[in-house]
Structure 1
Amino acid sequence: MTETPFQPAARFAGQRQDVWLAHPHDTDHMTIINDAAANSPVQPVVHMGQGFFGYNPPQFVLDAARDALGRVECNQYSPTKGRPRLKQAIASSFSPTLGRELNPETEVVITTGANEGILCAFMAFLEPGDEVIVFEPFFDQYISNIEMPGGKVRYVPMKPPIDGATRTSSAAEWNIDFQELENSISSRTKMIVINTPHNPVGKILSSAELDRIGELAIKHDLLILSDEVYQSLFYVPFTSIAARSPDLWARTLTVGSAGKAFYATGWRIGYLIGPENLIKYVTAAHMRICYSSVSPLQEAVAVAFEQANQMGFWDKSRNEMKSKIERFCEVFDEMGIPYSIPEGGYFVMGNFTKLRIPDHYTFPESVASRPRDFKLAWFLIQEIGLAAIPPTEFYTDLNAHLAENYLRFAICKNDEVLDMAKDRLRGLRAFMQ
């Protein structure tokens, strides 16, 4: 492909090659991990990088989708705010956990995936120069979504346990320095973004942490965007910041993902919940960005929420994912590789400080110039055929050192894939200190 003669927008010009394994069969965008996987001498590569599921949604959800595809009204435009049945199903599902009776017409909006919903929230409220506080490590889409409407990011790192290289510990031990958080707030700060359960750490913000964040938001009159796309997968008590007090409800937009909840990341059905005076502006942005979201899949997700409790789906989903995490982490325990035990979600952060890459090992320039976790990721792909994500992709250069010995593994795969990955990891024994 020849280089375009046209100058791209500054937001996309000069961006470095990214980490993402968009899909195992995507050969159009040879990203760092994809490139390594395609050229690894160990084939097939076991992919535990990007967090898409290795299995289908449950049968009752698939049946609902098939039924919706056969109905004329489900194959036409949905209202911009979403199909009434889905908004009602979400309001009914989340009213108990938020401690208030949600109005499905004014306090819920359906978006084309949670990421589009997050973009809509930033587009709705940010003016050029407004600042948004984001915790590191961060979901990388936050950054471009903030910058597109002219916002600026202020970063506050969550810090791993100081002995994370020698001891397995709870993800709860990744700590927020609240003095550092308050120091990052300026007169231009408009919003703070939280992610709980957290990707990639697996930390669930405790009630005490939520309250301290909430106190700062109220003190400095900040909006809160609470990314809770993994909220159905919790292994310790979970609460939403919007449920902590009426004052916090009044300033919080809560983001959710049906794709994460029902193993259907390709369906791209997300939603935002919040007070009417916030949701109406998110809806206005959503209307201009994509007008409305996929109709038959909205209807299927409505049925999924309606039937999930009677099917025992939520408990089954949590128990199965927790079991997968424990199944996979057996190999870390076996090999003495410390890791962060997730409190929620489906990612595990393993600490590979003890892995010794041979001297003079050859890396491509795109990897050699990046932190150690990129080299670890490349090494694992080339030597044992196992793909994971280097988490410094979710950090600024200033704070990348905090996570340069970790790798992130997505556990939402079939058990046979997890077992194959465990066998591949055992191939590192010769390189362990």
Structure 2
Amino acid sequence: MGLKSYDIQMQLLRNLNTRLTYIRRPPHKNLYTRSKLLPKHQLRHFSKAQTVDMTLPQPSSHVSSQSKDVWSIVNEAGAAMEKESGKPVINLGQGFFSYSPPDFAIQAAKDALDVPMFNQYSPTRGRMSLRSALAKAYAPYYGRTIDPETEVVITSGANEGMYSVFTGFLDQGDEVIVFEPFFDQYISNIILPGGKPVYVPLHPPADAQKRVHSAGEWSIDFKELEDAITPRTRMIVLNSPHNPVGKVFSKDELLRIGDLAIKHNFLILSDEVYDRLYYTPFTRIATLSPEISARTITVGSAGKTFAATGWRIGWLIG
């Protein structure tokens, strides 16, 4: 099946599994109605009772072990609130926009619909025209030429790109270090291919509750980070600019993370999807040294760059 189709089906299965957690199978019945078992405050969202047959095949353990993702919880809560209040709800917690992509992007999309080949299957790694454009765009940041043939891959959104990296590099039980708080999709993307997330906290300043502070003041305890590394550590996820804190990691922090990757021989997945929403030049970890670059896969997103998250266009560089 197509990757986008896979994402949709996984979401449907997650929603199904979440619904099933509200019910308990009576010992003498195979069929029951959800309305008898749900709390009253949840019943108002359903127009009629729903019947579930637990004798039918159920989702796999890969899916049933997953908790409901924050994205779905927030979206459903917002939709319910908007419906009940009759007023628009503004979502300040997720990376999609309330305005359209720039005119040139919309016009380019319209023009592409008139080209027969643009409506057909793309090459597996993405169209060379886009890969070449990305290689040209990133070359000034990297300070070198990027080969679009071997170093750039187009994906169905940045999220699918990250899932592809985890699937391609993780064996059962391999560990992935994640700085918390984090983008919630990291966890299911790590677990589904058999990986194990290992959490290392970002620390706010000690007096954070007493004053206004900046995202840059959140810090890593590098002893905590190195203590979290084991022989099974396969990868670390680095998100800069960071979601949700907003922190942009300093050059010194990135160098120390890169040195650990070299010392312990693990990969760096650098999620940089918010790079064009940060307007001051900042250091990208893949640019620090050839040794660090060789261990780094950078993730980018047209959805974040052009306010077109529904277009599902992402890329990997490395």
For this structure pair, what is the TM-score category when the shorter chain's length is used for normalisation? Answer: 0.7 to 0.9
Secondary structure at the counterpart of residue 46 of structure 1: coil
Q: Does the C-alpha gap of structure 1 residues 269 and 23 become closer, same or farther in structure 2, counting only changes over 3 Å?
A: farther
Instruction: Pick from 22, 35, 52 the counterpart of residue 3 of structure 1.
Output: 52
2:217 matched to which residue of 1?
Answer: 173
Instruction: Pick from 181, 187, 198 the counterpart of residue 231 of structure 2.
Output: 187
* Offset of residue 21 of structure 1: 5.3
Q: Structure 1 unaligned segments of length 5 or more: list them.
A: 25-30, 275-433
* Offset of residue 50 of structure 1: 2.6
Identical-residue share of aligned pairs (%): 58
Contact 1:138 1:199 in 2 (8 A): yes
2:163 matched to which residue of 1?
Answer: 119
**TM-score with structure 1 length normalisation?**
0.59
Q: CA separation in 2, counterparts of 1:128 and 1:246?
A: 29
Q: CA separation in 2, counterparts of 1:23 and 1:70?
A: 37
Q: CA separation in 2, counterparts of 1:162 and 1:112?
A: 40
Instruction: Pick from 89, 103, 108 the counterpart of residue 147 of structure 2.
Output: 103
* Offset of residue 65 of structure 1: 0.6
Displaced runs of 4 or more, over 6 A: none
Secondary structure at the counterpart of residue 209 of structure 2: coil
Q: CA separation in 1, counterparts of 2:72 and 2:234?
A: 33
Q: CA separation in 2, counterparts of 1:267 and 1:179?
A: 41
Instruction: Pick from 56, 66, 71 the counterpart of residue 20 of structure 1.
Output: 71
CA deviation profile, 1:96-127 (whole Å, cap 9, x unmatched) = 10122001111100000000000000010000
* Offset of residue 45 of structure 1: 2.9
Q: Structure 2 unaligned segments of length 5 or more: list them.
A: 1-49
Q: Which has the higher contact order (CA 8 A, sep 6+)?
A: 1
Q: Does 1:242 align with 2:286?
A: yes
2:302 matched to which residue of 1?
Answer: 258
Q: CA separation in 2, counterparts of 1:18 and 1:122?
A: 18
The Cα RMSD (Å) is: 1.8
Q: Does the C-alpha gap of structure 1 residues 38 and 246 become closer, same or farther in structure 2, counting only changes over 3 Å?
A: same
1:44 matched to which residue of 2?
Answer: 88
CA deviation profile, 1:197-217 (whole Å, cap 9, x unmatched) = 000011111100000000110
Q: Does the C-alpha gap of structure 1 residues 111 and 220 become closer, same or farther in structure 2, counting only changes over 3 Å?
A: same
Instruction: Pick from 94, 97, 101 the counterpart of residue 53 of structure 1.
Output: 97
Contact 1:21 1:34 in 2 (8 A): no
Contact 1:111 1:117 in 2 (8 A): yes
1:209 matched to which residue of 2?
Answer: 253
Secondary structure at the counterpart of residue 178 of structure 2: strand
**TM-score with structure 2 length normalisation?**
0.79
Secondary structure at the counterpart of residue 149 of structure 1: coil
Secondary structure at the counterpart of residue 61 of structure 2: coil
